Structure 1
Amino acid sequence: MTAQPAFPNLFQPLSIGGVTVRNRIVSTGHDTTMPTDGTVNDRLVAYHRARAAGGVGLIVCQVTGVHESARYTNHVLMGADEGCIEGFAKLADAVHAEGTTLFVQLFHPGREMTESLDGTAPVAWAPSVSPSERFHVIPRALTLGVIREIVAGYGATAARLQRAGVDGVEIVASHGYLPAQFLNPAVNRREDDYGGSDENRRRFLQEAIEAARAATSPEFVVGLRISGDEMHEGGLTPDISLDAIRSLADKIDYVSVVAGSSASLGGAVHIVPPMYLEPGYVAPFAARVKKAVAVPVIVTGRINQPQEAERIVASGAADMCGMTRALICDPQMPAKAQAGRFDDIRACIGCNQACIGHFHKGHTISCIQHPESGRELSFGTLRPASTRRKVMVIGGGPGGMKTAAVAALRGHEVTLHEAEAQLGGQARLAQLLPRRGEFGGIITNLQNELERSGAQVLTRSRVDRELIEKASPEVVILATGATPLWPSQFHYDGKGQVVDAWQVLQGGVNTGGSVVVADWKGDWIGMGIAELLAERGCHVRLAVNGLFAGELLQSYVRDANAARLHALGVEIIPYARLFGRDEDNVYLQHTASGEAMIIEDVATLVLAQGHSPDTALQDGLGDFEGQLIAIGDCQMPRSCEEAVLEGLRAAWSI
C-alpha cells in the first residue's frame, strides 16, 4: 500500500491567472532593508534565491514605489523609471532557475511616511487631510493631477516589471497604505469622484488595477493585497474590505488577505504579529473571502508551520498560505516538509527581533535562530574546514549550541560541555514568562541542529582549567553566559525583600501583594516579570530606567506587552533610576531631574538590572596556547541574537 503524503494539499500546484505555482507556500512581500539606491542588488537576489532553492512556490518581492512620492524609507525599491528593469531581471532569472514564481508589490504609502529620507520630512499625500497617529504625519490632500500621475505609475511600473521577466504584480491596499486610505471613510472625506460613496472610494484602487492590467499582456498576473480588518478604531472593517474585494474580483487574478494597519500602534502589531497571537488567526476572514470570490485566495498571519498551512488549505479557507517568517527562519522549510523531514524544520518562534526588528532600525533583516538569513553572500554556502581541529565549546546556551553545530558540520571534532542537566541557557527562563513559551523553540531547534551535526554533547559537565588541559583541545569556545547584575551603588541594608528576576522565574519567592520591578535594561525581562506578577494578583509598579517600558524591544512586541500591562493595572514609572530600599519603601531618582521618587509600602523589590558576564574561566586561561574565542554574554551581556551570530562567526573562523 502506498503511504499517503503528509501534506496532500500543500504541495499541489495552483493556477493563478496565466501562471502555475508549484505549491501553496508563499513568501509574501516584506521589507528587507537590502536595496540600495532604490534598486535590486546582489544581496537581495541571493536572499530570494535561497528561498526559491528551498522549495517555496511563490515569492512576492517587497513593496516597489510607483511614483516619486512613494519613497517612504531611504531603502525602498522603486519602479518609477527604466533603471529598475536590470535588477528585477536578475532577480527573476535567479528565482525562475529554482522553479519558483515571482510577483512584485506595487506600492504607494500615502500618509504612512515612516522616516525622513535625509533629515527633512518629505511631503505625505492622502485622500484628505487626515492625520496618521502612529507617525504623527499630517498629510496634504491629493490633487486630481497627482492622483492621475500615481494611477499612471501603477501601469508604467507593471509594464517595466513584465519586461524584466517578472510573472505578475500585487497591488498593495493593505495595512492602511494609500489605496486603503481611499477605501476608508474615516480617512477619505473627499466630495469628488474619489470620495463620498462606496463606489467613489473604490475608484482609485479600481483605476490602479485597470492601469496595471492595461499596460501588460493577458497572461501577466495582477493581484491585490488587502487587510480584512485593520484592527484599530477608525480602520477598515471586515465588511468594508469584503465589499471592496467583491466589487473588484472580476478585475484581479488573486487576492491576498492580511490584518492590521500602519496607522496606529495597536493596528501595527498585526503587520508582523508576535508570538502572543494565535497561529493562522486571519484564516476565518480568508474563508469569508473564499466563499465570495472565484479567484485564488492567499492568507497570511502567524502561519509558521507546514501543518498549520496544510490545515488551512485543506479546510478550504484559502488556496495558499503566506509563511514569510517561517522562510526567513528556515529557507529550506518547504523542501524539508515535502520530504517528510519534519524534525529538521527550524520553526519560527515569532520573536520579531531580527526580522522586522532589524527593518525598523534600518538594518538588513535576519533571524536570531538562523543568522545566515540576510547574510547569504557571506554564509549562504557552508564552507568545509581546510584542517580538522579538536574543538571544545563550553556552555550550552543558544550561542554555544550554534557554534558546536556549525563547527561540526564544517568537519571539526567538536565536544560541547554544559554544566546544567539541560541545554538552553537563559532561553529556558525566557520561555517561562507569560505568552513567551514559544521562545523555548530556539532550544529545540538548535538541539536538533546539534544532533544532525555529529557534535558530542556532555551535560552536567562543569569545565575547569584541569579538564581543558586533560582534553587538550586546539580551540576553546567560551560561551559561559552571564548572571543577574545586582547594582553596586544601591543603598540597601538587608531590610525589606529584594530578589532578582531569575529567582522569581525559578520559583520559591513569595513576593507579597505589593511589588516594584526595577527595570534598568528595557527589554523583555522587566515587562514580562511585571505581567507575570500582575497575573498572580500583585499590585505591580514597573519602574523603568528609560523613556518607556520595553524601550529595547521590537515595537510590535513592546506595544502588545504594553496593552496587556495596561489591562492588568500595572503602573509604569519612566525616567526611574533605582536608588535604594529599606524595610517598607523603594527609593528612585528621576533620571533627568535627579529628584527623588518614593514608593511606599513595598513588599518585594524585583531587580531586572541587566547581567554580569561570567568571565571566571576565561580569566584563568590567559596563557592557553590554543585558539581561544569568547562569544555571547560572557564577552558582553546582550541578547540571544548576538550570541547565536557570534557562534556562527566563531565556527566559520576555525
Structure 2
Amino acid sequence: MGSQSFERLFSPLTIRGHVIRNRILSSGHQTYLAEQNLPGPKMIAYHEARARGGAGLIITESARFHASSSSAAPDLVILEDDQIAPYAALAEAVHRHGSKIIGQLSHSGRVTRRMAQGMRGVVYAPSPVPDHRFHTLPREMPSEMVAEIIRAAGAGARRYAEAGYDGVELMASHGLLFAQFLNPHSNLRQDLYGGSFENRLRPLREALILARQAIGPDKILGLRISAAEDEISGLEEDEVIRICAALSSEGLIDYVNTSYGSMAALGASVHVVPPMEIEAAYLASKSQAIRAAVSVPVFLAGRINQPQLAEAVLAAGQADLCAMTRAMITDPELANKARLGRTDDIRACIGCNQACIGHYHAGNPISCIQNPVTGRETIFAAPPVRAKVAKQVLVIGGGPAGMKAALTAAELGHKVTLAEARAQTGGQALLAQLLPERAEFGGLITNLQAELARHAVTLRLNTRVDAALLAEIAPEAVVLATGATPYRPQIEGAEAGDLIDIADLLKGAAKPGKRVVIADWRCDWQGIGAAVMLARAGHHVRLAVDGICAGQNLQQYVRDLWAGRLHQLGIEVIPYARLFGVDTDTAYFLHGASGQPIILEGLDSLVLATGRSPLLELEPVLHAAGLPFITIGDCATPRSAEEAIYEGLAEVSAFLSA
C-alpha cells in the first residue's frame, strides 16, 4: 500500500464545541467484557487500547436504561446513580489519550428472548407483533410504560453526562425499540404513540428532548438508525430519511450514525456486522442520501476496513465520520499507523466475523482471530516483555499457528527459524481463500507474512525437518505446528465410488462428475462453499450435512446468508446425514437421530468434507533428540485459524518464558 496522505481522514470534526481529532470512529458494539453489567478493568483496557491507537471517537456499547430490557446477559446497564462511577473510569481512560467518548442507550423491545436463569422473560414492545428471528411475541406496552421508558432515557443520558462522557447516542437502529415505534408494521397502536407519522415519532422525539434537558447544552446528542431495514416489514429508506430530516430540522440531534438492516429477521441481521461476502463501504450511497436531507454530520458504518477506503468516502461527500470498528478490533493502532504513513503495517480486518460477533453470539468476550490480544488486554502485555536470554527457536510448519509462533518468538527477542515443507506459507488458509466469495480470508496470510517480513525470522521453504536438520540447526526450543491432513473415515464400498477429498476439489486436483453429493461432516464453510462453487459451475448438487443444518458451526449471520445462497441455487440440503457407504451411483447415509437409512441415488461423485487428522510424525523424533517442544494448532487437534493463532501467541509465550 505504501505511504499516503489522508487529508480528510485526519482533519478534525467539531460537534457542539467538541473537537474530534480525526474522522475515525469505533462505533458501539457488544464486547461481553462487562463485569456485573458495568465497565470494569477488561472493558476499560479494551477501549483504552483503541484510544491510545489514535481513534477520534469511541462510542461504547449499548447500555440498557430501563429494567424491561435487562436480562442475564453481560450487557451494560445504566439504571441507577450508583452505577455512574465505573462509566467515569472508562471515560477518563479514553480521554487520557485524546479520544472523545459517547455512550449508547438502547432498549431491545421485541428483538430478544430476554433470558434469565434459563427461562424467557416478559418482553414488551409497541404492539404484539412477533419478530422472525427470536420468535418472540411481545406484550404491548401500556401508555404509562411508554412514558416511563421515555423518562428513563433522559435519566440514562444524565448518568452518562455525569460520568464525564462527551455525549449520548439513542439507538433507533436494527429494529430495536425506538425503530419498532417508528415502523407502521410493528407499531399498530391507536394511542398518542401510534398511527400517524408524528405519533410514531413521538417516543423517540420526546426521549431526545428529555435527554437534551438532562445533559445540558454542551454535550453531544446523536441518533443511530438503519438507513433501511432490508426486511419485508421493515422501515424503508424514504421513511428513514423523513425521520432524520424531521429530527434534524427541530435541532434535536447533533449527528446521524447510519447503519443498515434489522435484528428482527434472519436475512436482515447480516447487515448488523456485514461479513467479507458483502462489498466494502457498501452503504456509502445510503449515508449520502441521509446527509443530503439533514443539517448535521452523518456517520457511516459497514465494511470500512482500510484508511484508503475511508478517505475515499469522505472525499466523495458520502459521510463525515467513518466507523472502522472491526478494523480496530483487528489492529487497535490503525489510526496511528495511517497518520504516520505506515499503512503497510496495518493488520487488515478480513470480515470473517468469527471472534468478534461470533464470540458474542456464543456468549463469550470479544476477540479477533488475527489478534488474540483483543479482549484480553489485561492478560497480554503490549509490547511483550523481551526475554533476558535469546534462544535458538525452531518453528516447524508455516500455517497460521506456525507463523504466529515465529512472530511471537521473534518479538520476545529470540533467534527464530521457520521451516515450511511447501513452497508457500499459509497452511489451511490457502484452501479457505479458494471458497466462493471467501478470497479475503487470504488476507490473514498476507498480514502474517507482512509481519514476519518486519522481524528477523529465517524462513526456510520447501524444507522438511528430520533428525539431520535438527542436528544442523541445533535449536534450544522447538514449536511443532505441522498442521493436519484430510481424514478419510471408513466408508463401505469406497473402492467402487468416485470419492474426492474437498481439498483436492478446491485445488483443482480432481474433477467431479455432473451429479455430486457432498458429505459434510464439518458443518462449516467447506461443505457450503463446495456446494455453491459446483452449482455455479453447472453441477447438480446435494449437500448431506452431518448436523442439524448447513453451516451449523458458523457464526449465525453468515450461516443465514449462505442458507439463502443455497436456496437461491436450488441446492438440496439433507440434514442429520451420517455417511455410511457408497457404490458406483448411490451414496448411503444414516439419519443421525433415527438411525434410518438415507439413500441418495443418481450420483457421479461423492465429495468428502470429513475433517482432518493431525500430522504428528515429528513428535517421536523430537522426543528422541531430547529437545524441549510444544505442539500447537491443527497438529495438536484440528480446529480453526482462531485457535491456531491464539496458541501461536499464548502457548508459545508461556513455553519460551518457562
CA shift at 1:419, angstroms? Answer: 0.7
Partner of 1:36: 35
Partner of 2:172: 173
Query: Take 1:493 and 1:75, find their aligned partners in 2: how far apart are those partners?
Result: 49
CA shift at 1:457, angstroms? Answer: 1.1
Structure 1 residue identity aligned to 2:51 = A
Query: Take 1:47 and 1:511, find their aligned partners in 2: how far apart are those partners?
Result: 48
Partner of 1:532: 533
Partner of 1:429: 431
Equivalent positions of 1:71-470 (< 5 A) are: 71-72=70-71, 74-249=73-248, 250-381=251-382, 382-470=384-472
Shift in CA distance, 288/573, structure 1 to aligned 2, threshold 3 Å = same
Equivalent positions of 1:466-545 (< 5 A) are: 466-488=468-490, 490-545=491-546
Query: Take 2:177 and 2:37, find their aligned partners in 1: how far apart are those partners?
Result: 20
Whether contact under 8 Å (1:517, 1:608) holds in the other structure is yes
Structure 2 residue identity aligned to 1:578 = L
| 1:284-335 alpha-carbon deviations (Å, 9 max, x no partner) | 0100111111111000001111111100011101000011100000000011
Match of 1:23, SS?
A: coil
Structure 1 residue identity aligned to 2:281 = G
Partner of 1:547: 548
Query: Take 2:628 and 2:68, find their aligned partners in 1: how far apart are those partners?
Result: 54
Whether contact under 8 Å (1:26, 1:324) holds in the other structure is yes
Shift in CA distance, 336/73, structure 1 to aligned 2, threshold 3 Å = farther
Whether contact under 8 Å (1:35, 1:77) holds in the other structure is yes
CA shift at 1:122, angstroms? Answer: 1.4
Whether contact under 8 Å (1:73, 1:113) holds in the other structure is no
| 1:78-124 alpha-carbon deviations (Å, 9 max, x no partner) | 01101321111111111000000000001111111145122111111
Note the residue ranges of structure 1 that are not aligned, 5 or more in a row.
none
Query: Take 1:579 and 1:456, find their aligned partners in 2: how far apart are those partners?
Result: 46
Structure 1 residue identity aligned to 2:646 = L
| 1:534-583 alpha-carbon deviations (Å, 9 max, x no partner) | 11111100000000000000011111111111111110000000000001
Query: Take 2:113 and 2:449, find their aligned partners in 1: how far apart are those partners?
Result: 39
Structure 2 residue identity aligned to 1:506 = K
Number of aligned pairs?
A: 651
Query: Take 1:111 and 1:380, find their aligned partners in 2: how far apart are those partners?
Result: 41
Match of 2:544, SS?
A: strand
Shift in CA distance, 531/73, structure 1 to aligned 2, threshold 3 Å = farther
Match of 1:372, SS?
A: coil
| 1:105-144 alpha-carbon deviations (Å, 9 max, x no partner) | 0111111114512211111111000101100101000111
Note the residue ranges of structure 2 that are not aligned, 5 or more in a row.
none
Partner of 2:573: 572
Query: Take 1:476 and 1:434, find their aligned partners in 2: how far apart are those partners?
Result: 36
Whether contact under 8 Å (1:125, 1:141) holds in the other structure is yes
Whether contact under 8 Å (1:465, 1:617) holds in the other structure is no
Query: Take 1:641 and 1:145, find their aligned partners in 2: how far apart are those partners?
Result: 48
Query: Take 1:289 and 1:624, find their aligned partners in 2: how far apart are those partners?
Result: 67
Partner of 2:607: 606
Query: Take 2:627 and 2:464, find their aligned partners in 1: how far apart are those partners?
Result: 20
CA shift at 1:415, angstroms? Answer: 0.6
CA shift at 1:73, angstroms? Answer: 5.3
Query: Take 1:46 and 1:115, find their aligned partners in 2: how far apart are those partners?
Result: 28
TM-score where L is the length of structure 2 = 0.98
Query: Take 1:253 and 1:636, find their aligned partners in 2: how far apart are those partners?
Result: 52
Query: Take 1:72 and 1:549, find their aligned partners in 2: how far apart are those partners?
Result: 30
CA shift at 1:617, angstroms? Answer: 1.1
CA shift at 1:37, angstroms? Answer: 1.3
Structure 1 residue identity aligned to 2:543 = L
Structure 2 residue identity aligned to 1:523 = D
Whether contact under 8 Å (1:304, 1:348) holds in the other structure is yes
Query: Take 1:493 and 1:592, find their aligned partners in 2: how far apart are those partners?
Result: 24
Whether contact under 8 Å (1:40, 1:84) holds in the other structure is no
Structure 2 residue identity aligned to 1:350 = G
Query: Take 1:407 and 1:506, find their aligned partners in 2: how far apart are those partners?
Result: 32
| 1:244-299 alpha-carbon deviations (Å, 9 max, x no partner) | 10111121010100001100110101000010101111110100111111111000
Shift in CA distance, 493/25, structure 1 to aligned 2, threshold 3 Å = closer
Whether contact under 8 Å (2:38, 2:86) holds in the other structure is yes
Query: Take 2:585 and 2:4, find their aligned partners in 1: how far apart are those partners?
Result: 64
Shift in CA distance, 493/163, structure 1 to aligned 2, threshold 3 Å = closer
| 1:457-476 alpha-carbon deviations (Å, 9 max, x no partner) | 11111111221122111110
Query: Take 1:151 and 1:11, find their aligned partners in 2: how far apart are those partners?
Result: 37
User: What value does the CA root-mean-square deviation take over the aligned residues?
Assistant: 1.2
CA shift at 1:72, angstroms? Answer: 4.7
Query: Take 1:625 and 1:615, find their aligned partners in 2: how far apart are those partners?
Result: 16
| 1:490-510 alpha-carbon deviations (Å, 9 max, x no partner) | 102411200110010111322
Whether contact under 8 Å (1:38, 1:78) holds in the other structure is yes
Match of 1:578, SS?
A: strand
Identity of aligned residues (%): 49
Query: Take 2:513 and 2:235, find their aligned partners in 1: how far apart are those partners?
Result: 45
| 1:181-232 alpha-carbon deviations (Å, 9 max, x no partner) | 0000000000111111111100011011111101112011110000011111
**Which has the higher mean CA deviation after the structures are superposed, 556-565 or 573-582?**
556-565
Query: Take 1:527 and 1:619, find their aligned partners in 2: how far apart are those partners?
Result: 37
